[in-house]
């Protein structure tokens, strides 16, 4: 019988290596179980192993975010002291280990790179991230987690507990990733992608579900981006912001955000329950095409519908789409004339 491996989110080289060894061991045991003609037991073992593999995948993504965050912070320094140079060497090694699939060594490099910064370098990094998050306003769930970890790390560092401070900082950058020091360009200006926003209203609940999908149509990776949730009138979402992670070429991601009634409008009067509205955005390096699909979900005709779609910053609708009459169950597709007001 194999030893039970406890899973946690603290990261670290030792934990990563233990999990890798455990997955290898369990894979062999599943093969032996299949050879012994015990398919049900093998199925249960495989289901458990799948969960552990998904956990490891998240750990590896965390390593990538951590190393890229450290690399970006060090690259943007005007001058590197001896501690910074040592940290940079460990980051370079860690990125190489990550590309080679040597995750245990990559995790070890993250720990060494953070430790090499020393108290002064760590305080500098904590201050940069803390200032960045405070300037963002509304935070996503992961940003809230990161901010709490940064505060914890600063408190530990103030109490001269450098080891605990580095642990908290490592967890913070594994969640958040790199932090921009300047104003980032709108993803709608520098990428080619398709984004859709759809609201679903399950009959068995008073809550709604906003589904945001993004497909990268370009040849390069799409950088992570933050997006305000385009919440319909009478509803509230938590969080108010969502983060869309890096997407490779031809990659696709779907994000669901729960919506709850604000209490100002009764659910019977909410237009969202009567209309099914899906908005699609085709962004091509500053050019934006927007189309809205509207469906009448009721048994009665609806008249005089004005649609006001969410638009990214820097873009405006030249005129709002208007539906004069929409019969029961009828669907229409509407083009929205868009003006790029941020274009010189």
CB of 335 closer than 8 Å to CB of 291? yes
Cα–Cα distance for residue pair 138/122, rounded to 1 Å: 25
CB 11 within 8 A of CB 171: yes
pLDDT at 56: 63
Question: Under DSSP, is residue 207 helix (H, G, I), strand (E, B) or coil?
Answer: coil
Q: Do residues 338 and 318 make contact, with C-beta atoms less than 8 angstroms apart?
A: yes
Nearest Cα to Cα of residue 155 among 144, 145, 143, 167? 167
So what's the pLDDT on residue 335?
93
pLDDT value, residue 269: 55
Q: How far apart are CA 9 and CA 2, in angstroms?
A: 22
Question: Is the distance from CB of 274 to CB of 150 less than 8 angstroms?
Answer: no
pLDDT score, position 61: 73
| Residues in the chain with pLDDT values less than 70 | 1-24, 26-27, 30-34, 36-39, 41-42, 45-47, 49-58, 177-185, 204, 233-234, 263-273, 342-344
- Helix runs in 180-321, H state only: 187-190
Is the sign of the CA dihedral 336, 337, 342, 344 positive or negative?
A: positive
Which of 24, 30, 31 minimizes the C-alpha distance to 5?
Answer: 24
Q: How many CA atoms lie within 13 A of 283 on its CB side?
A: 24
> Locate tokens 């949730």: which residue?
229
The contacts of residue 344 (CB under 8 Å, 6+ apart) are: none
């Amino acid at each position: 019988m194999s030893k039970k491996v406890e899973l946690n989110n603290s990261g670290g080289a030792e934990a990563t290596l233990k999990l890798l060894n455990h997955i290898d061991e369990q894979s062999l045991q599943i093969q032996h179980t299949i050879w012994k003609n015990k398919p049900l037991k093998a199925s249960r073992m495989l289901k458990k192993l799948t969960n552990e593999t998904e956990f490891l995948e998240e750990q590896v993504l965390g390593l990538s975010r951590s190393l890229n965050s450290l690399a970006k912070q060090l690259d943007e320094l005007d001058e590197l002291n001896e501690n910074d140079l040592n940290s940079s060497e460990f980051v370079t090694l860690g990125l190489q280990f990550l590309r080679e699939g040597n995750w245990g060594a990559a995790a070890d490099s993250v720990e060494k790179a953070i430790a090499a910064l020393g108290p002064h370098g760590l305080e500098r990094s904590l201050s940069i991230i803390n200032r960045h998050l405070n300037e963002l306003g509304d935070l996503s769930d992961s940003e809230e987690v990161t901010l709490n970890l940064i505060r914890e790390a600063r408190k530990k560092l103030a109490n001269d507990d450098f080891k605990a401070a580095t642990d908290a900082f490592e967890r913070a950058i594994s969640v958040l990733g790199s932090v921009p020091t300047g104003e980032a360009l709108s993803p709608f200006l520098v990428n080619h992608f398709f984004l859709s926003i759809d609201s679903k209203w399950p009959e068995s609940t008073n809550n709604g579900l906003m589904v945001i999908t993004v497909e990268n149509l370009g040849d390069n990776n799409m950088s992570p981006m933050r997006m305000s949730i385009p919440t319909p009138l009478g509803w509230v979402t938590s969080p108010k912001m969502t983060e869309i992670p890096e997407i490779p070429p031809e990659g696709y991601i779907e994000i669901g955000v729960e919506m709850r009634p604000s209490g100002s409008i009764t659910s019977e009067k909410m237009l969202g329950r009567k209309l099914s509205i899906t908005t699609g955005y085709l962004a091509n390096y500053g050019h934006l095409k927007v189309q809205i699909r509207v469906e009448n979900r009721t048994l009665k005709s609806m008249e005089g519908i004005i649609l006001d779609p969410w638009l990214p910053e820097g873009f405006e609708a030249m005129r709002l789409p208007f539906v004069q009459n929409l019969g029961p169950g009828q669907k229409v597709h509407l083009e929205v004339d868009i003006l790029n007001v941020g274009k010189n």
